[in-house]
Amino acid sequence: MENSKGNLTNSTLVPLDFSESSLYALDHAAAIASALNENNKITLLHIIESGSFAPVKEVGHITSDINSHDALAIEGALNRMHKIANDHNKGNIEYSYIVASGKAYREIARIAEEIEADNIVMGTHGASGIQAFAGSNASKVIQLAPCPVVVIKNKPINTQGFKNIVLPLDLTQETRQKVNFAVKLAQHYDSTVHLLSMSDSDEFLATRLENNLNQVEMYLTERGIKTTATTLDASGGNFVKQTLVWAEGKGADLIIIMSQQDKELREYIFGAYAQQIVNKSNIPVMTVNPRPELEGIIDNTIGSGIYRH
């Protein structure tokens, strides 16, 4: 279905630079799309940073004002994306294609908003086109994106989907927004959601953390989702390292975090934490930008429309 502007809706955006990690991202995107997007649509995006042309969706749309070098690159990219889509199609995905020019992180965020993407799934350490996403590029995409961003390193998709999902929790209202994504994925893949919190020496804050953990656990259990709940000892050192070691021990297929910027540490354990998780995790990470209109709402179901403008 298209909206009144002719743009795609209910789509997962996958930037492709044709590296192995970006192809892994495509497999993850198909798994996410089948759970989150009603219409199972994936938009493949290739960016030619050195070019200067308006986005092109079909070979027949390459106009005469595009120089011959860019025209050949666009045609080659579209042909490769078509072939990759055919090779990866499980029979229930509708693909569309875009070749764009400009700064990769800006174009990814801009096109995600234009097509009203439900999420962006991208690989890291590409060697061409979009180049390496790790570090500043990933951070910029996450900050600018109008929807959740899933960052994939060199980890193939579990053939059974996302069977183990790790959900770190803090004391903010916004942190609950990511619970909805965990619910959708867990219900689709019969996953176990592993809730994770951090202890605090302050008794009042420790009680709030425990209550928050218990509330989310009850919310998931009431929806028939298998859960575990763990509180890590803050005195154990680096919480990022603790999180990743613990998640690896759970055989995690996905970590879902918020992308808040820095606030007082006990209120926001994310921000710098989120960036470190994205950069250091070998497990796929979904970062969810907080939406003010959803603040404090734990039971607002997700799906098409939540990340619309």
Describe the crossing of helices 272-280 and 239-249 by its angle, rounded to 10 degrees. 40
Q: What is the mean pLDDT of residues 118-136?
A: 60
Three-class SS state of 158: coil
* pLDDT over 50 (residue 3): no
Q: Which helix (H) or strand (E) holds 180?
A: helix 177-189
* pLDDT over 50 (residue 309): no
Per-residue pLDDT band at 176 (split at 50, 70, 90): low
Per-residue pLDDT band at 174 (split at 50, 70, 90): low
Q: What is the mean pLDDT of residues 239-248?
A: 91
* pLDDT over 90 (residue 88): no
Q: How many CA atoms lie within 13 A of 278 on its CB side?
A: 32
Q: What is the 3-state secondary structure (H, E, C) of 73-126?
A: HHHHHHHHHHHHHHHHCCCCCEEEEEEEECCHHHHHHHHHHHCCEEEEEEECCC
Cβ-Cβ contacts under 8 Å for 258 (sequence gap 6 or more): 170, 172, 174, 175, 177, 178, 270, 274, 287, 288, 289, 290
Could you say which architecture CATH assigns to the domain 164-294? 3-Layer(aba) Sandwich (3.40)
User: How is 222-288 classified by DSSP, letter by letter?
Assistant: HTT-EEEEEEE-GGGS-HHHHHHHHHHHTT-SEEEEE-PPP--TTT-S-SHHHHHHHHH-SS-EEEE
Question: Distance between CA 53 and CA 59 in Å, rounded?
Answer: 14
Q: Which CATH number fits domain 11-152: 3.30.300.30, 3.30.70.141, 3.40.1350.10, 3.40.50.620?
A: 3.40.50.620
Question: How much is the pLDDT for 134?
Answer: 41
* pLDDT over 80 (residue 171): no
Dihedral sign from CA coordinates of 147, 153, 158, 159: positive
Residue with tokens 């209550």: 211
Least-confidence region, from 148-152, 172-176, 231-235, 238-242: 172-176
- Identify the CA nearest to 169 among candidates 88, 255, 237: 255
Question: Are the beta carbons of 147 and 307 closer than 8 angstroms?
Answer: yes
What are 247's two structure tokens? 């998640």
Give percent of the chain above pLDDT 90. Answer: 36
pTM of the model as a whole: 0.82
Three-class SS state of 137: helix
Question: How much is the pLDDT for 236?
Answer: 65
Instruction: Give tens-digit pLDDT for 4-16.
Output: 333 335 689 999 9
C-alpha pair distances (Å), 134 with each of 35, 83, 140, 179: 26, 27, 10, 25
Instruction: Give tens-digit pLDDT for 14-39.
Output: 999 888 888 888 888 888 877 766 66
| Mean pLDDT value across the chain | 79
Each domain of the chain, given as residue ranges in start order, spans 11-152, 164-294
Question: Distance between CA 156 and CA 97 in Å, rounded?
Answer: 23
- Identify the CA nearest to 26 among candidates 135, 145, 157: 157
Q: What is the mean pLDDT of residues 265-272?
A: 46
* pLDDT over 70 (residue 256): yes
Residue with tokens 């996302």: 162
C-alpha pair distances (Å), 214 with each of 72, 108, 116, 221: 57, 37, 34, 10
Do 164-294 and 11-152 have the same topology in CATH? yes
